[in-house]
Chains A and B, each alone.
Chain A
């Protein structure tokens, strides 16, 4: 396979624990197979600083929780052919969404005032502002493939990635579920 015909793969980390990325790495030697099929053009695992144009498949971990997440997911959507909502945080908001019933103010007070001894105060620069709720990706942009699981297993991720890179639509319902 020539370099020109290789697909362009990306992975994105929004509000999640990185467990889906750990599961991605758990593909172990099968990562070499994936590397033979696609270039990893953007990921927390590589150096690229900006999400590039013309991505074929993007795996997105995590819920949309901050203004930065919202900005990123819109950019990812606009530059990606097949967007995969990877893991329960991306698909359901999962654990990041557990803050939602309490409201941003109560959550920030808890994190930055009540449990802090040195210079308590809510940051207003560098750290992106939280959205009112942490929500699943598909409530903001169109998602092409949903892969629930916390995290989805390496086997599931390998199946999804290779199917998509070979131009097929994966059916994950028998392989993974919410909370698996």
Chain B
């Protein structure tokens, strides 16, 4: 193994770039102003490669790989914006939009939603799949916060921030596939959770209007994300 911090050189979209060996393709792309869409990845949280939006092509490999969990390698040639990738990304977003009930016009996060913004950025004006219109629950039992499963895209940012940053692990995932959902404690009402510290970190990392503060109406829920990299940095300094 090469020493920590060794530099790897690679090509992204034809540009000669370099990154430290522990960095991911997404890290290097971001440092160089190359846009990669993502909904599950967040600076300050562990990476899970769940949303598949940051998939990239790597020369010599048939598989598409998620840039957020693929570390750079010497001589790698990465493509981030082929027509094929764009088609897959649009398809993923359209599937997310049809899987549950994302009614932007009446959503607390209208105008501040990462899913909505990405859909526009990728030129989605309609979806090609039939809407499912599932019946989803809204749990407003917590004193200050609400979880609206209609808007949840299962990115698991709430699960990770609660576990990794707050240390409470109130959130988790229950069920599989299309039946998966985020739960508090052992699928109990959020309001009666004995582990939740009511810190609100989950609310502010949520990319959509699935988690919001009570009393917010349409388009009023602005999420403050700045705290996360700051908290992580301060903890690392103190270690």
Contacts and interface: CB of A to CB of B under 8 A. Distances in A.
16 contacts: A85-B126, A92-B103, A92-B127, A94-B103, A97-B131, A98-B106, A101-B134, A133-B133, A135-B131, A136-B126, A143-B126, A172-B125, A173-B124, A178-B104, A178-B119, A179-B116
Contacts of A172: 125
Interface string B82-118: 0000000000000001000111111100110000100
A143 B107 CA distance: 26
The size bracket of the interface on B is 20 to 34
A146 B125 contact: yes
Given A85-B126, A148-B126, A177-B120, A92 B131 contact: yes
B105 A94 contact: yes
Interface string A65-109: 000000000000000000001001001111101101110000000
Contacts, number: 72
B110 A100 contact: no
A88 B131 CA distance: 13
Interface residues on A, range: 20 to 34
B53 to A, nearest CB: 17
B60 interface: no
Interface of A: 85, 88, 91-95, 97-98, 100-102, 133, 135-136, 138-139, 143, 146-148, 150, 172-173, 177-180
A146 B127 CA distance: 10
| Residue of B101, B130, B133 with most partner-chain A CB within 10 A | B133
Contacts of B102: 178
B119 A98 contact: no
Nearest to B105: A150
B103 to A, nearest CB: 6
B3 interface: no
A143 B127 CA distance: 12
Nearest to B129: A139
B135 interface: yes
A138 B103 contact: no
B126 A98 contact: no
Contact of A147 (B101, B105, B125, B130): B125
Contacts of B119: 177-178
A97 B134 contact: no
Given A102-B135, A179-B110, A180-B111, 19 more contacts: A88-B105, A92-B97, A92-B131, A94-B105, A95-B103, A97-B131, A101-B134, A135-B131, A138-B126, A139-B130, A143-B126, A146-B126, A148-B126, A150-B105, A172-B125, A173-B125, A178-B119, A179-B105, A179-B107
A99 B127 CA distance: 20
Given A88-B104, A91-B125, A101 B116 contact: no
B143 interface: no
A149 to B, nearest CB: 9
A98 B123 CA distance: 25
